[in-house]
Amino acid sequence: MADTTPQLKYHILTFGCQMNKNDSERVESLLRGLNMTTTPAPEDADVILMNSCSVRQKAEDRIYGMARNFAQLKEKNPNLIICVTGCMPGRDKDGGMREKLPGVDLFFPTKDMIHLPKWLGELNPGIRPLDDLEKDYFALHPTLTKTYQAFVTIQTGCNHFCTYCVVPFSRGLEVNRSLKQILDETRHLAETGCKEVTLLGQIVNHYVAPDPQFFSPQNPYTNSDFAKLLWEVSQIPGIERIHWTAPHPIFMTDEVIDALALPKQVNYLHLPVQSGNNEVLRRMNRRHTREFYIETIKKIRAARPDIAIGTDIIVGFCGETDEQFRDTVELYKECDFDISYNAQYSQRSGTLAVKAFRDDVPQAEKRRRWWVLQELMEDIVKKKNQKYVNSAVSVLVEQWSHGWCEGNSFEMKRVRFKGDQSLIGCICPVEIYKAEEWMLWGRAST
């Protein structure tokens, strides 16, 4: 007799960084392993999972608001299970966050996601794990929405304790993934059509292989395991683009810089600086100086002169004076960045900055400084992008709408051109005829 039991459904919401997106792909694999199917409508779901971010208070506030809304859905579906994972549970040491989420059934850090099938089965007998899924978090294969692009996590956690940052508290100390696992996953991705991989880690260029015996004897690098890993991934047939984020300046060694010239390495590097003033950098516990960072950028451009470079900057950090902010502006001009992700400092409970410093820069001044950098960035990048006009760039097409293809160039510049939907997932040469701040417009080359 056929089983007429309706298939249970899940709905996943992801907030924050690429690491969280990759974690959600792993959660999705677990839920599919429970014979569940996804739904875009939370009101139709039997399990709602929110993968939370703690970088900003606004990100946490969104979780509180959505959890209250989702709790109301239990009136219609009493068996609905609401879950929160990610950074909030990871840093909720005193239970204060959990208390604000009374409608949430499961509240657990990322590393505990391997227990999710068991917990769901305990809450809803209709959910039956098909096999023993309690294994290494890294061993969980992500469920990919795009076969041609994938994130590959190589490391989680951090040992550096920048004073503004919640990562060591939310994700724990640094754990490096097995080299064999990384290479096996990447080879599998290539076999299933993946063209671009992005290696993820909190300080990705500090990767140290726990099983170095799996490095090839032909590997040309000797000192940096991360440079060795980049070379190994570049040898995998089918992988055409390698990207990674986010490195730390102090680990941009000569070998890592040399590896930027590997042919499959995208022509872009995102290297956070956070401030251009040495005293602010000291208070942030960044472990590098302004001078060291600028010299590192010079070395990078010597190795790959046309590389596009992005960064992260925090304005209005504790005690930052207007003169210290001007140092950041001058560093920005000297480094000539292609893009910067600028943030106004906000206190995060549990961080060292909250204990050691006073958040004394007025919000209006933080906003003003943010706009100074934003306008500078837009002016610089528009001028820099003009060099692409009348030249061809290589574009991995990621989306299509109303006759327009869109994707990133090898320099991670956004490109739009007329084309067919069948080009999604293809790498196409595109002749650029117009360059704006955040979009290059082109025509497909024949």
Average pLDDT over residues 337-351: 92
Domain 9-137 falls in which CATH fold? Rossmann fold (3.40.50)
The answer to whether 327 touches 276, Cβ cutoff 8 Å, is yes
* pLDDT at 138 (0 to 100): 73
Q: Is the pLDDT of residue 196 over 90?
A: yes
3-state secondary structure the chain: CCCCCCCCEEEEEECCCHHHHHHHHHHHHHHHHCCCEECCCHHHCCEEEEEECCCCHHHHHHHHHHHHHHHHHHHCCCCCEEEEEEHHHHHCCCCHHHHCCCCCCEECCHHHHHHHHHHHHHHCCCCCCCCCCCCCHHHCCCCCCCCCEEEEECEECCCCCCCCCCHHHHCCCCEECCHHHHHHHHHHHHHCCCCEEEEECCCHHHCCCCCHHHCCCCCCCCCCHHHHHHHHHHCCCCCCEEEEECCCHHHCCHHHHHHCCCCCECCEEECCCECCCHHHHHHHCCCCCHHHHHHHHHHHHHHCCCCEEEEEEEECCCCCCHHHHHHHHHHHHHHCCCEEEEEECCCCCCCHHHHHCCCCCCHHHHHHHHHHHHHHHHHHHHHHHHHHCCCEEEEEEEEEECCEEEEEECCCCEEEEECCHHHCCCEEEEEEEEECCCCEEEEECC
Query: What class does CATH assign to 389-444?
Result: mainly beta
Residue 2 confidence (pLDDT) above 80: no
Band of pLDDT at residue 63, cut at 50, 70 and 90: very high
Biggest alpha carbon–alpha carbon distance for the chain: 77
Check residue 137 and give its pLDDT: 66
C-alpha distances in Å from residue 197, one per residue of 30, 40, 254, 343: 22, 26, 23, 27
pLDDT digits (tens, 9 = 90+) for 112-155: 888 888 899 889 888 876 554 555 667 777 777 789 999 999 99
Structure tokens at 119: 């917990």
What is the percent of the chain with per-residue pLDDT over 70, rounded to a whole number? 97
Each residue's pLDDT tens digit, 169-186: 888 889 999 999 999 999
Average pLDDT over residues 50-58: 86
Question: Boundaries of CATH 3.80.30.20 in the chain?
Answer: 140-385
Q: What is the dotted CATH code of the domain comprising 140-385? A: 3.80.30.20
Residues of the chain with CATH 3.40.50.12160: 9-137
Residues of the chain with CATH 2.40.50.140: 389-444
Lowest mean pLDDT across 75-79, 180-184, 199-203, 373-377:
75-79
Section 191-219 average pLDDT: 97
- The tens digit of pLDDT for each residue in 263-293 reads 999 999 999 999 999 999 999 999 999 999 9
pTM, rounded to two decimals: 0.85
Question: Using one digit for the tens of pLDDT, what is the confidence trace for 381-429?
Answer: 999 999 999 999 999 999 999 999 999 999 999 999 999 999 999 999 9
At a CB cut-off of 8 Å and minimum separation 6, what does 326 contact? none
Report the 10 Å Cβ neighbour count for 106: 19
Structure-model confidence comparison of residues 58 and 188, the more confident one: 188
pLDDT in the model for residue 361: 98
Question: Does the structure show a pLDDT above 80 at 340?
Answer: yes
Report which of residues 331 and 59 the model is more confident about: 331
Q: Is the model's pLDDT at 1 over the cut of 50?
A: no
